[in-house]
Every structure is written in structure tokens, then in C-alpha cells.
Structure 1
Amino acid sequence: MPKPMTEAGSPERTDVLIIGAGMSGLAMGRQLKRAGVQDFLIAERADGPGGVWRANAYPGAACDVPSHLYSYSFFPNPDWSRKFAPQAEIKAYFERASTAFGLEAHIRYGKSVRALTYEEVEGVWRVAFEDGGTLIARAVISAVGQLSEPFSPEFEGRDQFKGQIVHTAEWTPDIDMTGQRVVMIGSAASAIQVLPHAAKAASELAVFQRTPNWIIPKPDRAFTGVEKWLFRHLAGYHWLYRMGSFALHELRWPAFRSGGLAAAFTRRRLTRRIKTQVDDEAVLDQVLPDYAPGCKRILLSNDFFETLNQPHVRLVTDGVQRFTPTGVMTASGEAIDADLVILATGFKATEFLPNLDVIGRDGQSLKDVWGDSPTAYKGVALSGFPNLFTLYGPNTNLGHNSIIFMIERQTEFVRRQIMRLLTADAISVEVKAEAQSAFNARLQKRLDQTVWAGECPSWYKSPDGIIVSNWAGPASRYALALSGRDTDAFALEAP
């Protein structure tokens, strides 16, 4: 069992520290337990497991991947209420998973990691927490993901606004939109989920859109009692349903290759749908994208355009110039009054470890090494930073399938490297610089052939235009890439 962390004095030690008890951290903890590793800890800054599904509780929050695919293959849930589960159900699922995997004894809630410093002689990481505590870990696994830190733009005059400002990732139950004049800044994934709820409650709703989005129907519905019975009692039915869903989503990958027939067909089909759903020609010009579908994240919604058609809802496309005491001023000088401003402005997705200072070999800072374009070997290992691994790291996001499939492959791969380190009682295991460089050169070459390389702003790219978030291929190709031990790519430093 893990040893408790002390707040002062000599730091406690553990074999492995996992940062985060969300989707990735829980899967990694299960992998370690099944491998026989008992001395590990999971540091979670929140008061419970679930990660982004604990933090994001705004109205309408739900997954855009089918429920039975957005769940662990080794922990099926026959009782999903809908094809696309709402936030509360997903949060409860991960809470059950934490208990079922026997991880609660390993998790320390309210523990936020501030810094990691590698000590080369001993081959350990010195971990500093925000509360002043410290810990020594032989290996560290970051499971904070790409969507953990909200991005809130710094608008001029924001501190003068007399109303309420809330980011969707910081929503609280006491926020009431009833009868309010609401301004929503952003029109992407979280915004289109909040939008119909805001429109139903607010007296006026202004939605600020920077770039229009490609939106497809969301084939959501409640599961019937018969379906739930089959999931629970008919042997193999859940597995077949899940595999069918996975295969269907894999078939969508060709649409993300630029210049192909699949991409052209997708664009034509989505354009036709938008034109049939938008009443106002002026609004149509504003919401019809001029870039290839998939260049930005494709969104799922059945009521976005219907909501925009309502008389008390308006779309604003000339941007926010500044906040005023009574609302916001647009770039064209129009004053829009507001009681509540909702920031649906996303996350610091391309920074990966935005609030963590990591110092590796020779005192090198990970932030300096990464610069604006983070890279990793297969998304999980970093040259110059021994015994450190990342889950949902650089170039492991998907635009067409379930990220949980990717995470399961990563945790299996990381487990193999951790066991090499512990079994050999080695000082370190570290990916070689040439292996990481060669991998990323091949990866970026393939990414150049995708729609993500097109001219559109998206969180898939770093500020210098490098695609740092997405994997360049179907999910099954990633599984193949992580299927081995990769002993030639890693150096094992003997004691």
C-alpha cells in the first residue's frame, strides 16, 4: 500500500506518482495494480475522481462520443441511459471505476502538483505540491490530459464589469440564467451544449463567434429497457455493440485526409444541411465555414441552428473589443448590455502541462525544450526527462474515434516501461533522442496530408502552426504503434 504524504520534514517516497484521477489516471492506476505494483500514489487536485467530467458541470454538458465507446473496455456499463451520456452519468461512472479498481486507498485528493525536479544521481523525481508538501517518486506519470486548464482571454475592462463572468469549466449550481441578458463568448464544443439552455432561460442572448464550425447531427436517444437487458445479460452483446461502434468510427478517418473524395463528400453533405436549417441569409453567410470539415473540431448538435433562429438570440461575429461596466463592446463599437457573460473559450490544449514546472536532466526546463510545439515519443515519453511519462500527451488526440481507446493503449505501453524500470531496479528508463526525433518527423509528414494542416484556427495547432494535438491516422494504427516493448528506443540506466 502507498505511504502517506507528509506536509513537512523529510519527504515520503513512492515508486510511482500519477498526476490526476481522471479518465487516464484511473486507467493507469488499474494497470499498475494488475502488474503487482502496490507502492504508487495518485495526486488529484479536486475532491473526487473524474477529471474534466467532474469540473465541467455546465448545463447541457455531455459527451460527443457514444457512451459504450466512451468507457473502458475492461469496465463496461450496461446501464447508460442514452447513446451519448450526459456529464453527471460519466462522472458517476468514473467514481464507480475508481472504487471498482481499488484505487481510493492510493488517491490523495486536494493535492495539486506544482513542480517536478529530476535528481540524476539517484534517478528520482522530487515532487513539490501547491500546499508546500514534497514527495520523492522513482517515476512520474502525468495524467492531466489536454483539456484540464481553462483558457480565459484577458479582455480590456473585464474587472470593471458589474455583472457575473463564468467559464464553462468553472460553472457552479447557483448560476441562474432565468430572465438574464446573457452574452456567450465562443461558439464551439461547450458553447453549442449550453446554447439551447441559455436561450430557453435568458431574456436576451448574444453569441460571439470567431470562426464558424461544421456541425453534424447528434444521433442521440434513450436506450430502451430491452437494450439495457441485452447489454447486461446476453453474453457478447456489449462487446459486439462496442466493436461495431468502434469500426464505424474508424471508417470515418478518410474524411480527415485532405483532397480526397471522402472529404469532398463530407463537405457537400454538411453544407446542404446547414442551408436547409438556417432561415436568415445573412446568418447563413456567418455560419457557413470556408474551410474543410475537420480542420477544426467537428461538432455534434441537433438544435444549434434552430436556436439561432429564435428572435431573442443573435449571432455576433465582429469580436469583443472590451468589457464595459454594463456589458461588452464589440469591435465595431456596438454596446451590448449583459447581466451574465459566459466564457465558452476552451482550454490551454496545446500546452499540455501549463501549470507545472518540470526540470529534467542537466537542469533543462520542459517548457524551454517544448517551446510552442510540444513533442513526445508516441505521445508518452520525453527524451531528457527520464522516468517521466505523459498520458493523452502530444499528438494523441483524435477527431473521429474514442480517446479512451487511445488511453488504454498508452497505459499498457507505459506499464511495460515502468515494469522494466522497477524489475531491473534501474536508475532510469529514458527514450533516446534520435528515436523521438525520427518518430515525430514521420508523424508530421503524415499530418501534412490531413485537413488539420489547412488554414483554420483550431486548438489542434500550436501558435506557430504545428499540429501538436492530433494523431495522424486511425486509432487502430496507434494501437499497432504502441503494441511492442520498444526496447531499442529506450535506454535503461543500470544502478
Structure 2
Amino acid sequence: MPDASVVIVGAGFSGLAQAVMLEKAGITDYVILEKADELGGTWRDNTYPGCACDVQSHLYSYSFADNPGWTKTYAAQEEILAYLEAVAGERGLSRAFRFGVEVTGARWDAESATWNVRSSSGQEFTGRFLVFGAGGLHGARLPVIPGLEEFTGQVWHSSRWNHEYDLAGKKVALVGVGASGVQIAPEVAEVAAGLVVFQRTAPWVLPKEDVTVPRWKKLAFRYLPGVQALYRTVLFWKRELRGLGFHHKPELMEKAEPAVRKYLEAEIADPELRRAVTPDYAFGCKRVLFSNDYYRALTREHVGVVPGEPVAARSRSLVDSEGVEHEVDAIILATGFDVTSSLDRIEIEGVDGRLLSKYWADGPTTYRGVAVPGFPNMFLLLGPNGFVAYTSVIAMIETQAEYIVRALRMVRSKSARSLQVRPEAEAGFQDEVGRKLARTVWSADRCRSWYQSASPSGTVLWPDSIWRYRLDMRRPDIRDYHLSS
């Protein structure tokens, strides 16, 4: 007998949502394997100064677990983590957690129709179904900087913040200006004696309408639940409408670009600095970032912007592409995550020994972001082509978790042992995604970004609206699956 009906890998937003959906369906024999000692995923690991979400709190939360007590329009890391802990506690999920279990491998056993899951500690778990909710924001992407091992100061990645080291009065280098870098820069500039920002690609940055939620609104949300549900719905559709400029009508982004440039000009008077931080690609092609103080931080006298990545490190300095040495005491690597290959760290072996890493060698492909041919009874949450880039992914997670529960029910209703998506179904979906991508602002002719891949579809995104995705994912189409008895 398997240890569980369902083995879930990961205890972040995805894993918790899947557990709740299983509970709702009356499926209670599941386990949640988590490599860390506590839940939270991205919002547990990223504790850097200024860490916050760029989606409104009331939308970046579960529809089945409204929180009337959000204190800010855009919640900070601590509040989001507390929210996840509260959801797990209120839903009674603690019995299913297996903390300190780092999954290193999973093998499909055709004879028993189960998945055998291995961990780094030697523990093993078996389950009829395997769901990966590990997410892509946990494997730090570290740049190759020759001589970095010779640097005698402090070095850390933004997702592994060194809270023991005091940056006050220090000279600091910040490598990377993605979502985390834009949040970190103003915080470090406030305390450091000097800050040099290494910028490979200038981001588009918009102001963030972040305010404290007034008491009267919290009371309304708490005692009139329908009001909060309506507010959430309004937020959802506002973002869906804005999404049209990303995935259907990129000409709308072109029309918006002059206004964004005016904001940049108003924030940075120095023409040389302004030129250095002005993107040279279409607005919206790469991730649009939000901050009220990033540009202002760059204008401070003790802050400098260096184009490109550091090319070398010395014992007390970083060297830029012009050969200039920048003396620093600490290096912060805000270089993001290895999003598209997060599952490569786990040896996943499907039918006839097929390895997922080899199947994805030329680019990751899926069927609707949740299933892969040759890997029966295995599902992904926020897998390739299963997430969006313009709004909250929580709606995608819930849609996928519900779909997976329906798939499990389909297996049981047909008295089958397993189900496996057909290769032709995946190929058809990849064709659909490729066609949709061509009309979007994310297409390759507008810029290069990590949104693109070498897969047949050319992207790791779902290049359409969440509403369209929800309609397509209402129920599994039995014609797209092979069920075995």
C-alpha cells in the first residue's frame, strides 16, 4: 500500500492550495514534503529589506481564505508569511507536513502504479499521485564572477539575506535590478556609506500606489464578507483589462510608454543618469516593476549605477566592464532565480525510465501547464505555460489545483490505475501557446527575456488571460488522456 494517495512537494502557496482542494474533495490521505523546517516557500526564504508583493494583497491571496486584516495595499513579506501560516493552521493542514524532507528523486513504478519519492536524508515515500508545487523562486541564480572566491568581504544572494551583517556605514555593491534589486536598492542606500548598482538591463519602473488600509475598510471587510469578495472581483477584472495590452493588444503598451518615460524624466533630472536607466526595449516585454523610491535612491550622491555585470572580483573590490575597480565591503547578488529549470534538481523518472530533465533538454513543454506525456499520475502547479506575467498567480494556482482534483476523480470514476496525457494533446497545446505568443508584447521580436524558451511554443508563459485559462481548465478532457486499468 502507498504511504499516501497524493504526495505533494512544496509547502508554499501552491502546495497549500492543493492540500485545501484535496480536503474539500474529501481526499485526506496526502502528505506535504517540504525541504525547509517551516512552510512559506518564496515568502519564507526572501526576507531582504523592502521585500513585498507587487500585486494587491486582497488579490494575492486565496479566494477561499479572505483576509480582512491586510494592513497595506501591497503586503510585505512578513504579513504574507503570517497569512500562509494562518491558512495552514485554520485548515488543519499541520498533520500532513513532513518538514526537513528535501526531495531528490521520484520514480514511477508501473507494476504498482505508484510514485516512489526519495529524499536527501534517505527517507522514501510512495503515493498514487505526485503533485509538484515547488515553484520556481527557490533555486538562486548565481552569476559567474571570476575571482569572487578571493573577495574577503561579505557575499550573499538576496534570498539568503545575511541579517547578522550591519550595512550601516559600509560600501555595498548590488548586482542585479530585477524585482528584488529594485526593492533592495532604496533600503541599502538609506544606511550604506556607498552603493554601486550593477545594472545589466534597465527595468521599466512604475510608481506603486501603496497605502495603509484604513480601519473602516478593515471593519467592512470583516463584518461584511460580500464587500471584500466584491473588492477582490473588481481588482481581478481591472488587472484582466490591463492584461489586454500584454497578451492581445500590445499597441496599448506602445501608447502607454510615453507616459512612463515622463515619469522617469520627472524622477531623474540628470540626463546622463536618466539615459543609463532608460530601457531600450518595448514597455511590458520584460517584467514591469513597481517602486516609489527606486529612482530617487539612484539620484543620491553616494549611489552610482554601472552598466553591465561585474567582470571580475578582487579581494576588496568588483571590476566593471570598463576595467574600473569599485571598492566594496559587501556584495549583494539580486540576480533572481533559475525559474525554468527548478525541477532539474530532482531526478524525475517516468515510464520506461524516461527522465524529465532529458525530455525538457530542448525546452520545457507541458499540457496546459500541469501534465507531461510519459509521466502518469504526475501533475505540476505553476509549471511551464501554467503561469502569467501581468497579475496574481494565485488564481492560476487555484484553477490548477481544482483541475488536478477533478483528474483524480476521473481516474477513480473510471476504475483506472493511472492517467497519462497524450503526446498529441501536449503538441496541440504547444501549438496554441505559440500562436498566442506571436501577438503578445512578450514575443521575441520585441525583446529577449526569461519568458522565452527553446520549446516548440517559444515561451514558459501562458500568453493569454487568466479568464481564458479558467474556461479551458473547467474539467479534464478525457480525450486528451490515456487511462490504464
Taking the aligned partners of 2:476 and 2:344, their CA distance within structure 1 comes to 30
Q: Structure 1 stretch 453-462 or stretch 355-364: which is displaced more?
A: 453-462
Q: Deviations over 1:432-468 (max 9, x none)?
A: 1111110111111111111111343422123689643
Q: Quick check: 2:406–2:475 contact (8 Å CA) kept in 1? A: no
Please state if 1:460 is matched with 2:455.
no
Q: Structure 1 stretch 273-282 or stretch 160-169: which is displaced more?
A: 273-282
Taking the aligned partners of 1:286 and 1:272, their CA distance within structure 2 comes to 15
Please state if 1:483 is matched with 2:474.
yes
Taking the aligned partners of 1:423 and 1:49, their CA distance within structure 2 comes to 33
The corresponding residue for 1:470 is 461
The corresponding residue for 1:161 is 151
User: 1:25 offset after TM fit, Å?
Assistant: 0.2
Q: Quick check: 2:430–2:456 contact (8 Å CA) kept in 1? A: no
The corresponding residue for 1:14 is 4
The corresponding residue for 2:356 is 366
Taking the aligned partners of 1:12 and 1:479, their CA distance within structure 2 comes to 32
The corresponding residue for 1:8 is none
User: 1:124 offset after TM fit, Å?
Assistant: 1.2
Please state if 1:446 is matched with 2:468.
no
Please state if 1:291 is matched with 2:281.
yes
SS at structure 1 position matched to 2:235: helix
Percentage identity across aligned positions?
36
Aligned partner (choices 111, 133, 142) of residue 132 of structure 2:
142
Please state if 1:302 is matched with 2:292.
yes
Please state if 1:313 is matched with 2:333.
no
Change (3 A) 1:20 1:260: closer
Taking the aligned partners of 1:461 and 1:279, their CA distance within structure 2 comes to 34
Taking the aligned partners of 2:344 and 2:318, their CA distance within structure 1 comes to 29
SS at structure 2 position matched to 1:241: helix
User: 1:493 offset after TM fit, Å?
Assistant: 0.6
Change (3 A) 1:352 1:437: farther
The corresponding residue for 1:86 is 76
Change (3 A) 1:318 1:236: closer
SS at structure 2 position matched to 1:248: helix
Q: Quick check: 2:437–2:459 contact (8 Å CA) kept in 1? A: no
The corresponding residue for 2:380 is 390
Change (3 A) 1:467 1:201: farther
Q: Deviations over 1:249-298 (max 9, x none)?
A: 01111221477431211212111111121121111111111211111100
The corresponding residue for 1:277 is 267
User: 1:183 offset after TM fit, Å?
Assistant: 0.1
Please state if 1:326 is matched with 2:320.
no
The corresponding residue for 2:167 is 177
Aligned length: 484
User: 1:178 offset after TM fit, Å?
Assistant: 0.7
Please state if 1:76 is matched with 2:63.
no
Change (3 A) 1:221 1:449: same
Taking the aligned partners of 1:201 and 1:464, their CA distance within structure 2 comes to 44
The corresponding residue for 2:242 is 252
TM-score by length of 2: 0.97
Computed over aligned residues only, the root mean square deviation of the Cα atoms, in angstroms, reads 1.6
Q: Structure 1 stretch 127-136 or stretch 65-74: which is displaced more?
A: 127-136
Please state if 1:35 is matched with 2:35.
no
The corresponding residue for 1:206 is 196
Taking the aligned partners of 2:360 and 2:27, their CA distance within structure 1 comes to 31
The corresponding residue for 1:405 is 395
Change (3 A) 1:383 1:88: same
Taking the aligned partners of 2:181 and 2:35, their CA distance within structure 1 comes to 26
Taking the aligned partners of 2:415 and 2:3, their CA distance within structure 1 comes to 15
Change (3 A) 1:359 1:231: same
Q: Quick check: 1:318–1:332 contact (8 Å CA) kept in 2? A: no
Change (3 A) 1:185 1:80: same
Q: Quick check: 1:386–1:429 contact (8 Å CA) kept in 2? A: yes
Please state if 1:223 is matched with 2:213.
yes
The corresponding residue for 1:61 is 51
Taking the aligned partners of 1:91 and 1:290, their CA distance within structure 2 comes to 36
Change (3 A) 1:479 1:227: same
Q: Deviations over 1:322-341 (max 9, x none)?
A: 11111211111111111110
The corresponding residue for 1:264 is 254
Amino acid at match of 1:80: W
Amino acid at match of 2:451: Y
The corresponding residue for 1:437 is 427
The corresponding residue for 2:483 is 492
Please state if 1:376 is matched with 2:356.
no
Please state if 1:47 is matched with 2:73.
no
Q: Structure 1 stretch 418-427 or stretch 429-438: which is displaced more?
A: 418-427
The corresponding residue for 2:409 is 419
Q: Quick check: 1:167–1:344 contact (8 Å CA) kept in 2? A: yes
Q: Quick check: 1:57–1:172 contact (8 Å CA) kept in 2? A: no
Q: Quick check: 2:12–2:133 contact (8 Å CA) kept in 1? A: yes
Please state if 1:335 is matched with 2:328.
no
User: 1:235 offset after TM fit, Å?
Assistant: 4.0
Q: Quick check: 1:257–1:263 contact (8 Å CA) kept in 2? A: no
Amino acid at match of 1:487: I
User: 1:12 offset after TM fit, Å?
Assistant: 6.3
Q: Deviations over 1:49-82 (max 9, x none)?
A: 1110001000000000000000000000000000
Change (3 A) 1:374 1:227: same
Taking the aligned partners of 1:407 and 1:318, their CA distance within structure 2 comes to 35
TM-score by length of 1: 0.95
Aligned partner (choices 94, 107, 111) of residue 117 of structure 1:
107
User: 1:370 offset after TM fit, Å?
Assistant: 0.8
Taking the aligned partners of 1:108 and 1:58, their CA distance within structure 2 comes to 26
SS at structure 1 position matched to 2:411: helix
